[in-house]
Amino acid sequence: MVKKKEKKSVKAAKEKKSTDKKKISEKKPTQKKIAIKEIEDEFEEIDDKEIENFKIKGVDMEKLTTKVSEVVATRGDNGILQSDLWKKLKLTSRDGSRLALKLERQNIIKREKILENGRWTYKLKIAHVPVSTQSIEAAPCLICPVEQKCSLEGEISPRTCPLIEQWVLTEFANLKKTKK
């Protein structure tokens, strides 16, 4: 009878030890998980005010924003890795991350979380493609001396204007040349 009790208590002790090990292993995160968690926590700790008021000392933020927009826009749909952009602009990772968050909140860029070479990072893409005025820069209407008198039904009209006609033909010919 005593042996049965001993066997039961030994068995119970083994089971308890086994469940304790499981609990410890479940609680003990891997180094990789810890690093990822720290990075995520760092971004969660940045409050809205800090991002909104983010500035880099001695840097014209408007010019920097324009530069970031240009670089990201030139990459098109492929975007650019956040780390590559910061290296190109000679910024720290911290400043680069905060700037990306600020520009994302201003709806200038989009941040897309991706796994690159086994590490989580962000790919930056332009939120809105900048409008190009190149197609109308040479339009004769912009410098027309009789523009005030021009109307659809008037004596001077876009329908009968030889300047517009010539401009359209020239633009069309240039477009054909660039496509070839």
- Strands 109-116 and 80-81 turn out to be unpaired
The CATH number of domain 53-126, selected from 1.10.10.10, 3.30.310.50, 1.10.620.20, 3.40.190.10 = 1.10.10.10
The whole-number pLDDT of residue 124 equals 95
| pLDDT per position as a tens digit, 76-131 | 889 999 999 999 989 898 888 888 998 999 899 999 999 989 999 999 999 887 66
User: Which residues have C-beta within 8 Å of that of residue 96, sequence separation ≥ 6?
Assistant: 82, 83, 85, 86, 89
Question: pLDDT tens, 3-23?
Answer: 555 555 555 555 655 555 444
